[in-house]
Structure 1
Amino acid sequence: MSQLQPLIQRQQMTKPLLNVQDMQIWLDKVVAWGQTDSPDTQKDTSLHLKKLSSYLRELLTHINNTSSTSETMKTLPSIGQFLGRLCWNPYVTADDTSRSLLFQCLWGLFSEHPTNAVERKANQWIRKVLCQLTTEEDVVAQALMKSMGIPPEEYHVKVLKKMVASLQEKIVTNCNSLISINQRCSCDSVRATSEACVPLVACPEAAPLIDALLQRPVNCVRAPLSQEFLDAVSSAYSSQDLSLEEQSVLSLWYHSLPSLEKAVLNLLESVFTNSGSTPQKMEEQVAQSLLLKACAQHCSIFLVVNDIFRNFLKQVEANECVKSLIQTFTSCFLREVALMQPQKCVPLKSFFPQSSQSLLVPLLTLPSDIPQEAWRHHLNWLSGSLQRVTEEEEEADGDGSGSTRRQHKVFEAWFLLVQCAHWIQVTVQLLGTSGCEDCGPLLWLLTFYHHPTNRGHNRALQLVHVKEVWDHLRSLFSISAHPFPVDYLQSLVTMLSPQPQQPSASPLLILSLLVNFAVFSQQSLSGSTRILQTVVDRTGLVDEAARILSSLERRLNEGRLSEGTNRVHLRIKELQKALKHMHAEQKPAEKQAHTQTL
């Protein structure tokens, strides 16, 4: 290393010719690289590749400025040995830049019309070495080999594959030889090997070695992968320059937090860019994500993913697309965990350490796992438990003690409710079928889901608005006379079109109640269809109503609905047809309006 320092300093200055001393210093370095295949050698080769490329550029300039090969070999007698040793170094030839410069240097030394024995012997040697640098994908090399009468061979690829296989076997063997987690890992070369792999991450031949490094057992904690390697692999995988096995991708996320964060943000971005997608399509998209399997296998990955969702939701509290994604992801995740072998399962409370343990199991329990007649009792208990949490927050706000901690507790309770929003869907369903019995707990639970904090609104006042909406819908859907009173429908339209600076219930809350009344009430199908069509047409909420219907249909298909199943599904189908017809009619009108505006 001390010998190279003067050389590096000299290379920073412009000089017309190379000298023998420069060549000798680099030759000594290359000879040392070839004497052992130790981790230190691999690391040293990787660290000096850029400086080597810089020197090869100067060497190429020197060759091109010299009159003949004989003259070049007089001034640099060791050039053949230097280039030859580089050609047999798989770490150098695997690097595109270094291999290209080597190729050009050899071509510059080749004499088309040799005039002496030295040049003829050099040509023979160059033909042999060029075979090693040639691949079928290298179009320029193929043309040159053809003109020289040399058959293309993938010599350097074979050497690289052999080297990769050897390192791969060494890593797997050493890691598997561990008896216990306390035993020192004999694979101390892991970090050095990962560093040496950095220039190779885009080489298909190196993929098995990269997979072996990433899939090392977790008990190899004494030999962590280098951050440079993880960053290079993450970048190559993101840009699709590297193909990894499924388990390797999961391991990459486990070892590299930036890579995992990027995968989660990509999923969030896809939801925003496809905001018009149906709940079924969103579930299909989430189910195809490897993040589910990664979260099920590694609790730490789930905690990171959940924390990203948590922080994102704090910023976009009312964004229904994000809330729907969180619920869908949690639901798919729980199914993935259920498929795992019992001995590999982690207790569910480990995945939700910030959630109230008393609320965790009741919320994670699916409605299909509870008899339908017990739903109301279950929801009343959930509502009462959540009310107590919010009351504690309000008391803390009143006396100024521990308000931040209480607010965090309320948020965590609400976040868990968002993750388990299947119970909110059941709540709305029951409110759409309920009579005059006390529905206060259900209304409070629905209000808390849509208005979890007192920021910008008073929770008690919101509950009053929601109760008014529910009473209004019960009255509207109990009317048997047709046509319906205009003032009833107009009042509902006004509720769905809140005025700025005026506190009112969430439009989506009202729309959810409206759709569930249309599906579950005893109002005739024609009457329910007319009410829904009129309201959503005047408010422009056709797409939103269609998504609520689609989500409701999907949940009913998965759960238990013993009473009136055929009737409910028939009403959903007819309501969907009506909304689809409205949507089709709106498109030409929008197009015509756009044309007139232009």
Structure 2
Amino acid sequence: MAQDTAVPKLDFEYWLDKAIKWGQATTLESQKDVCLHLPQLQEFLRQVYETLKHMDSIAAIQQFPLIGQLLGRLCWNPFVIGYDESQKTLMWCLCCLYSSEPQNPVELKANSWIRSLLCHLLSSSKWESNEAETSTFISTLGYTSADYYCHLVKNMVFSLLAEFRGNQFNGRNIQGRKKISLPESAVISLWLRHLPSLEKATLHLLDQLVSIQLNSLEEVACVIKDSLLPQAASHPAIFRIVNEIFKNVLLETDGTPEVLTVIQVFTQLFLQAHQNENKEHRFPLKAYFPYHHQPLVTALLRRPLELPTTHWSQHLKCISDTLKALVEDTNISSFADLFEIWFLVARFGEWLDIAAEQLLKASVEPDALLWLLAFYHCPQNENQQRTQTMVEAQAVYSHLTMLFSYTVLSVKDLEAAVHTVMGIDQCCNQHLIIHLLTNFLLFSSGGQMIAQEFIYHITEATDTRKEVCSLLIRTAYRIKHNGEENQKTVKLLNELVQKLTSKV
């Protein structure tokens, strides 16, 4: 063999040492090291194959005595064979070592060993659905297609049984084993290459958050961060797919409060991850949000912490005026267009909660902020319906502002507001007024005294316990992170959340 085509012995020793240290990549350190060296390993395996394909199997084993041990170890490393190209190159290398006409028991045994490895690699791949891809390997094994799939199923069953028995005998709990942990970059690469895995991860996150009882937004944020989806969404292609899934789930669940809260927290975490991206590689934010809504996007993207609290009302008026001009545009006529605008606003729900709070706590011109809340809760209302919504909201708002300075209140003092809520035909108008009432109870001295009694009464009467609970959790999170409220309000919020979540 020409000297320049030979694979240096040193490389075999180096990679065998690596393969021994990696084992089956059960520790985070070994997983990271595999991912770090994967490009160099792939190049090495390619060189091995280019050399082996010019040699017969006996000469290959004689010249490279470590090759069998090395390939065998690599074939059982899930992080190596998880990469399609590495898996395929390993298969071709093994085929080069296979003796088409074995002459002795050693070659027969080697062929049997190679067949078992190829069966394992094929059972670990998605190629079984592609006859053209697998036919060469199946014929190398000496099987027909029908025989191969029979052997494949048996191999998988035997492997699972062996693992199960091993877990039993070793006294280990299967549910408590260390899951395989991929680096963030590897997960994102997987999602970019394999759309079903991204869809599954997104739906799993939503199912996980909606199906379990969470008592704080910190818990929600922790679960969302662990999913890696906010970080991965820094890639616009991933963001758009996750965005579409969120929109469809919202439509299917009719805007359930839990899903809406998850989307709002996800948006905050995505913006944080985007901000932490290297400036040179960071995509502009207009790549993620509708380009034709840029003035509204720009206003919504301003975080409350970036502005003095004294400027919040003015900024909310700017959001409201921009939104109103957009909604009343004659080109916005279809439900799809209207939903796109509403969904954009809903993603930044923190500003909506602040709007309801500012209406009661600050000296503001109420029309713009009430209109903003009216659109958020009742986006499909047309001019006449929205006018009626505004009239009802104004009446409740005026009543609440009159009572805001009272230090002592009773539930009877709020009966007018309760009757307004109970007498409303439109459910969305009811949500708007409950939004105002809840903020009144949290931020007025008299309201705090009757908050537990009143919230229990109103949520039982209107079946809005989950909605109010989501609002309370969001408010507690905002207060904790902004630090603009006293401990009395924080304590009240915690008590209310505990009481409501115990009944959900």
State TM-score, norm by structure 1.
0.54
In structure 1, stretches of 5+ residues that fail to align are 1-29, 53-75, 100-191, 204-238, 397-401, 588-598
Aligned to 2:293: 356
Does residue 433 (structure 1) correspond to residue 361 (structure 2)? The answer is yes
Distance in 2 between the 1:244 and 1:473 partners? 53
Residues 182-227 of structure 1 deviation map (CA, whole Å, 9 limit, x = unaligned): xxxxxxxxxx89x98xx99x99xxxxxxxxxxxxxxxxxxxxxxxx
- Structure 1 pair 365–581 and aligned structure 2 pair: CA distance change class (3 A): closer
SS at match of 1:453: coil
Aligned 8 A contact 2:408 2:449 in 1: no
Matched residues in 1 for 2:204 and 2:290: separation? Answer: 25
> Can you list the C-alpha shifts for 1:508-548, whole angstroms capped at 9, x where unaligned?
43332222112223537435565445544655655654442
Q: Retained in 1: the 8 A contact 2:230–2:270?
A: yes
- 1: CA distance between counterparts of 2:500 and 2:290? 46
1:519 aligns with 2:447: no
Provide the rounded CA distance (Å) in 2 between the counterparts of 1:274 and 1:77. 60
Question: Corresponding residue for 1:257?
Answer: 195
One-letter amino acid of the counterpart of residue 351, structure 2 = W
Matches within 5 A, 1:164-563: 244-274=182-212, 277-296=215-234, 298-354=235-291, 356-392=293-329, 395=330, 403-404=333-334, 407-434=335-362, 438-454=365-381, 458-478=385-405, 483=410, 486=412, 488-497=413-422, 502-523=425-446, 525-527=448-450, 531-532=454-455, 534-536=457-459, 544-559=467-482, 561=484
Report the counterpart of residue 93 of structure 1 in structure 2: 117
- 1:427 CA drift (Å): 0.2
- Relative to structure 1, is the Cα distance of residues 408 and 415 closer, same or farther in structure 2, using a 3 angstrom cutoff? same
**CA distance in structure 2 between the partners assigned to 1:467 and 1:535 by the alignment:** 20
Give the counterpart letter for 2:475 in structure 1: L
1:329 Cα deviation after fit:
0.4
Cα distance change, pair 355–419 in 1 and its aligned pair in 2 (3 A) = farther
Tell me the matched-pair count: 378
Aligned residues of 2:469 and 2:501 also touching (Cα < 8 A): no
Secondary structure (helix, strand or coil) at the match of 2:381 reads: coil
3-state SS of 2:261 partner? helix
Distance in 2 separating the partners of 1:259 and 1:450: 34
Deviation at 1:459, TM superposition (A): 3.0
Paired AA for residue 87 in structure 1:
S
Q: Does the Cα contact within 8 Å between 1:493 and 1:538 map onto a contact in 2?
A: no
Deviation at 1:361, TM superposition (A): 1.7
Shift, 1:481, TM fit: 6.2
Change (3 A) 1:245 1:306: same
- Cα distance change on mapping 1:43 and 1:337 into 2, 3 Å: closer
Change (3 A) 1:525 1:295: closer
CA shift, 1:362, in A, is 1.1
Higher mean alpha-carbon deviation, 372-381 vs 508-517, is at 508-517
Whole-angstrom distance in 2 between the partners of 1:360 and 1:376: 18
Amino acid in the other structure paired with 1:333: F
User: Using a 3 Å threshold, how does the CA distance of structure 1 residues 522 and 482 change in structure 2: closer, same or farther?
Assistant: closer
Does the residue aligned with 2:446 lie in a helix, a strand or coil? Answer: coil
Paired letter, 1:361: T
Q: 2:10 matched to which residue of 1?
A: none
The CA deviation at 1:550 is: 2.8
Q: Structure 1 pair 272/333, CA: closer, same or farther in 2 (3 Å)?
A: same
Q: Whole-Å Cα distance in 1 between the matches of residues 321 and 400 of structure 2?
A: 25
Deviation at residue 294 of structure 1 after TM alignment: 1.4
Deviations 1:131-166 (A, max 9, x none): xxxxxxxxxxxxxxxxxxxxxxxxxxxxxxxxxxxx
Aligned equivalents of 1:480, 1:45: Cα separation in 2:
79
Cα distance change on mapping 1:579 and 1:242 into 2, 3 Å: closer
Instruction: Tell me which of 573, 585, 588 is aligned to 2:491.
Output: 573
Q: CA deviation at 1:441?
A: 0.5
The aligned amino acid for 1:552 is T
- Taking the aligned partners of 1:423 and 1:333, their CA distance within structure 2 comes to 17
Instruction: Please give the secondary structure, in 2, of the residue aligned with 1:359.
Output: helix
Residues 1:535 and 1:368: Cα distance change in structure 2 (over 3 Å)? same
* Cα distance in 1 for residues equivalent to 2:301 and 2:56: 59
| Cα drift, residue 560 of structure 1 | 6.0
Verify the 8 A CA contact 1:466 1:505 in the aligned structure 2. no
Give distance in 2, aligned partners of 1:540 and 1:314. 20
TM-score by length of 2: 0.63
Alpha carbons 2:374, 2:390 under 8 Å: kept:
yes
Contact 1:496 1:511 survives alignment (8 Å)? yes
Q: Is the 8 A contact 1:428 1:446 kept in 2?
A: yes
Runs of 4+ in 1 over 6 A off after TM superposition: 30-33, 43-46, 76-79, 239-242
Change (3 A) 1:31 1:321: same
* Letter of the structure 2 residue corresponding to residue 464 of structure 1: V
Aligned to 2:167: none
| Structure 1 residue 369: Cα displacement | 0.3
